[in-house]
Chains A and B, each alone.
Chain A
């Protein structure tokens, strides 16, 4: 498979995503500069983390105007798979590809730590390889990861199974203590109603190798690979 990893001015997890896709999973991936108007021959798009445009004005609010985002919208409209991680999630929300918004952490501090995630829906292009009841351990690193939406949107998310990941404790229980940023319903990741566009605050690309003490994140990339081509085996 061939992945386009978007590169905005200020993206800083772009190379990490390319590393995991290429070196860990053995697929091809290329950096796609934000001024490009086409996503080329990519099979899926990754919107990586970082501080696009320095987080000025509001996280993700300037990046959504980059030329490449029109191409991403078109790709998504045709059913193409798009995954936004951290700042990528914020950009997809600002671009209207995902509902809701990510606001300042309730601690008012940046947080970098490993968290536990429950998979709320195992039947999606981003979670299909994750065993039922498996609690994932993946790091977060953000100052604005507090997911918020209005009640009606939340209801839609729940009804449609659009909630992908929720912050839980090690035993898989959904507690306030386990919530690192104050997100509504402990939401860590969601998808659009069609299911082909997803965003998540935790960084699976930082937890895809045992040399970094964790490879739970790999399951998310493997799910996406399976969705793209069920016959495929990974490296």
Chain B
């Protein structure tokens, strides 16, 4: 085994530590660290593990509600009460840099990592969703990344047996070379099944379970915490882990079986920073110490140094603290599942994380200080100059639309708006037999039944629950106005949930931003967090956990700031589950909300898809987001749905009113290659003083297109108005055309033609 290198200023820099951070390490341990200890500090104090640049900001998030059983930051994932002694655990996490370097394994292990976080809490993972960002599909390298990422997610999720039920995909030049892969998983458990990642009970043995440790994924957490350059990507290819969903499935089943025996005192997955992070965090949470011997750790390659074993990010490994005297149960269960296990150490009362190798101490560090006393920085923030420029943008810059015919077609064909069936048909979205609303509507809905809970049951008198999930972020709006755009991301998520008949109960966020040392980029982050926090307060959907991914940039600059928001809601009864497509000929079409926000000088066109696609500009202030209006809209829609009056509901987002209306005309595919259409005849000719492009393609907030039976139409409009929501009947469902009459003339599109453009756009680009 080679001798450890002597620590030099260069080595300290290579580990991503500053001189003052190194001095702080010396202060904490009262001496110079050795090479292994330096490696441990570097990963534990990386942004990925320590949130050193964002911790102060994240304090602004609302994290409490009567439903919160395990709050943000306490454990691997938060847990919310959903009633009847049931609970859900969910979180979103990024795997951006690994996916940029090796898209298939990068995204696959992203899914694996988040699933592990969920079953570590004692929950059975029951569904996954994801949020993806790529450059433009005209670029062959982008297509390679897109193809790789989607097949990686499919590979891991399908094999593991978790349905991928919803998601979002955007394509924008700013993500070229730095795609975003944010993976979310949700699990279910009973209140009494919550597991903790704490090393409790001095003298308890510490077990390592799962496959052997190799050199893969060395220091991935540190890799994720620096700018991505071509050079770094090439050098860091070895930092990408290799996933084995089969192993994870076995590991999950074995862990849930073991947890049910009561023999587990604490459990933690080995994710970022592997064995290092799991040992010191469990000790820190338990207020104890942990002593392990690396010689006992199963190893895949010969001659690994302590540094390598500790920092490896080999996948599908778990650390389990077992109640003393019950070791045999662990062995029995892991042998049953043919999984490797090893007893590698024990819990101590010293508060130290002591790592030995063949009995010789190679690291001896104070666990709590290592885990919790990473430096915290208040970074400098400065409003970027472009903010002022986009604020000066006016509609005088371009002429109104004469003929919207082609414009709607182009918008529906635009990959960010077009159907994502090329993606979700590769994901098993129905395994576990719970998916009630499949991908393609505003939000997915799954039911929770007896076998969704660890330990299962017969299901006779199980109190079934319905969970709705959505993930959203219009990053162009966030770029143009981080505060308003971020509030809007939360509001859109909540609106999507309301459209399916759900009440939001919790949020998880994935903050994807650029380098925090750049004051203009840090300003984006700060403003965004302010908006997100206000949004989550407004919808009473506290943040239960999440992830921060900084340094998302390539040589051409930073990505558009992308605070991905995933929100979870509850649907009260199965009769309330609502989808976005029209249901019957002759039904009334009603718009909830104003056609155009009259207080907005840009009439909803700032930052719109229309401006980007037709005029090639990412410009203008995006529409403001009034959270009170959004909340009233959501509550009103939900009331209408719960009264049984609403047959379909779809919110207006990218592409505005016309795109939302067209999408309402495309039913979910009845079966393979078998679309169903219902046309619409809409009259907007009363809106004489609004530009036609703003009327059809503006993206004013707080609008939902619903349909109801002709008989109920008057009642629906009156009830919405009574609640303070502008509401009007705008047309009727039927025919095979989308017809819109405006004060400027009549426009008509064949639904079959529009559907074809929308459905096949991404598939054609990838063919």
Question: Chain A interface (Cβ within 8 Å of chain B)?
Answer: 9-10, 12-13, 15-16, 18-20, 22-23, 33, 49-51, 53-56, 109-116, 137, 139, 141, 143, 169-170, 177-178, 180, 203, 205-206, 209, 211-213
> Once the chains bind, are A9 and B250 in contact (CB under 8 Å)?
yes
> Once the chains bind, are A112 and B425 in contact (CB under 8 Å)?
yes
Question: Chain B interface (Cβ within 8 Å of chain A)?
Answer: 151, 154, 158-161, 244-247, 249-250, 336-338, 424-436, 447, 449-451, 456, 458-460, 574, 669-674
Q: In the bound complex, how far is the Cα of B667 from the Cα of A213, in angstroms? A: 14
> Once the chains bind, are B246 and A19 in contact (CB under 8 Å)?
no
Q: In the bound complex, how far is the Cα of B670 from the Cα of A137, in angstroms? A: 9
Q: In the bound complex, how far is the Cα of B429 from the Cα of A112, in angstroms? A: 7
> Once the chains bind, are A9 and B246 in contact (CB under 8 Å)?
yes
> Once the chains bind, are A51 and B158 in contact (CB under 8 Å)?
yes
Residues of B within 8 A of A213 (CB): 436
B242 to chain A, nearest CB (A): 13
User: Beyond the given A19-B459, A137-B670, could you list 4 further A-B residue pairs with CB under 8 A, ordered by the A residue number?
Assistant: A54-B244, A111-B425, A205-B433, A212-B434
Residue of B nearest to A114 (CB): B671
> Once the chains bind, are B433 and A178 in contact (CB under 8 Å)?
no
B73 to chain A, nearest CB (A): 32
> Once the chains bind, are A139 and B154 in contact (CB under 8 Å)?
no
Q: For chains A and B in complex, what number of residue pairs have CB atoms within 8 angstroms? A: 119
Residues of A within 8 A of B450 (CB): 19, 23
Q: In the bound complex, how far is the Cα of B458 from the Cα of A23, in angstroms? A: 7
> Once the chains bind, are B246 and A20 in contact (CB under 8 Å)?
no
A187 to chain B, nearest CB (A): 16
Residues of B within 8 A of A50 (CB): 161
> Once the chains bind, are A53 and B669 in contact (CB under 8 Å)?
no
Contact for B159 among A51, A169, A177, A212, CB less than 8 A = A51
Top-9 shortest CB links A-B:
A12-B161, A54-B246, A16-B433, A114-B671, A51-B159, A141-B428, A23-B459, A15-B451, A112-B428
Q: In the bound complex, how far is the Cα of B161 from the Cα of A55, in angstroms? A: 13
Residues of B within 8 A of A211 (CB): 436, 447, 574
In the complex, 14 of the A-B residue pairs with CB atoms within 8 angstroms, ordered by the A residue number, are: A9-B250, A12-B160, A12-B161, A19-B449, A19-B451, A22-B459, A54-B245, A54-B246, A109-B425, A110-B151, A110-B154, A114-B671, A114-B672, A206-B431
B140 to chain A, nearest CB (A): 18
Q: In the bound complex, how far is the Cα of B161 from the Cα of A177, in angstroms? A: 28
> Once the chains bind, are B246 and A10 in contact (CB under 8 Å)?
yes
Q: In the bound complex, how far is the Cα of B497 from the Cα of A54, in angstroms? A: 35
Residues of A within 8 A of B429 (CB): 112
> Once the chains bind, are B249 and A170 in contact (CB under 8 Å)?
no
> Once the chains bind, are B436 and A212 in contact (CB under 8 Å)?
yes
Contact for A206 among B160, B433, B449, CB less than 8 A = B433
Residue of B nearest to A214 (CB): B671
> Once the chains bind, are B459 and A13 in contact (CB under 8 Å)?
no
B147 to chain A, nearest CB (A): 10
> Once the chains bind, are A51 and B246 in contact (CB under 8 Å)?
yes
Residues of B within 8 A of A55 (CB): 159, 246
> Once the chains bind, are B431 and A109 in contact (CB under 8 Å)?
no
> Once the chains bind, are A116 and B672 in contact (CB under 8 Å)?
yes
Q: Which of A51, A111, A178 has the most CB of B within 10 A?
A: A51
Residues of B within 8 A of A180 (CB): 672
Residue of A nearest to B446 (CB): A212
Residues of B within 8 A of A141 (CB): 158, 428, 430-431
Q: In the bound complex, how far is the Cα of B336 from the Cα of A169, in angstroms? A: 45
Residues of A within 8 A of B433 (CB): 16, 19-20, 205-206, 209, 212
